[in-house]
């Protein structure tokens, strides 16, 4: 089903994985990346990010990230605001 709320989609990707070390963002094994999903706005991506980060809080090497896909798709877009 497609969302048609009339609001501009500002797509965000949430993903994570286990880092090889705490000093750099190099994943231990790219095959084990956890793609949480693509979300229509920053607020829903942040909610998903918080949930996954909380689930893995006991593993110091596990990190989750939010990628602002809308900025990659349209780098000239100035309507991005916070998200």
Break the chain into its structural domains and give their ranges.
12-73
**Per-residue pLDDT at 1:** 44
Cα separation, 40 vs 10, in Å, equals 6
User: 12-73: which CATH topology?
Assistant: Alpha-Beta Plaits (3.30.70)
DSSP secondary structure of 2-68: ----SSPP--EEEEEEEBS-TTS--BS-GGG-EEEEEESSHHHHHHHHHHHHHHTTT-TTEEEEEEE
What does the block give as tokens for 11?
């797509």
Q: What is the pLDDT along the chain (83 residues), one digit of tens a residue?
A: 455 566 778 999 999 999 999 899 999 999 999 999 999 999 999 999 999 999 999 999 999 999 999 888 887 765 555 55
**Per-residue pLDDT at 72:** 82
Cα separation, 5 vs 29, in Å, equals 38
């Amino acid at each position: 089903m497609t969302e048609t709320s009339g609001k501009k989609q500002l797509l965000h990707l949430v993903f994570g994985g286990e880092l090889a070390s705490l000093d750099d963002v190099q994943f231990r094994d790219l095959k084990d990346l956890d793609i949480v999903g693509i979300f229509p706005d920053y607020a829903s991506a942040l909610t998903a990010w918080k949930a996954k980060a909380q689930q893995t809080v006991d593993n110091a090497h596990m990190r989750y990230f939010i990628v602002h896909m809308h900025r990659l798709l349209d780098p000239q877009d100035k309507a991005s605001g916070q998200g």
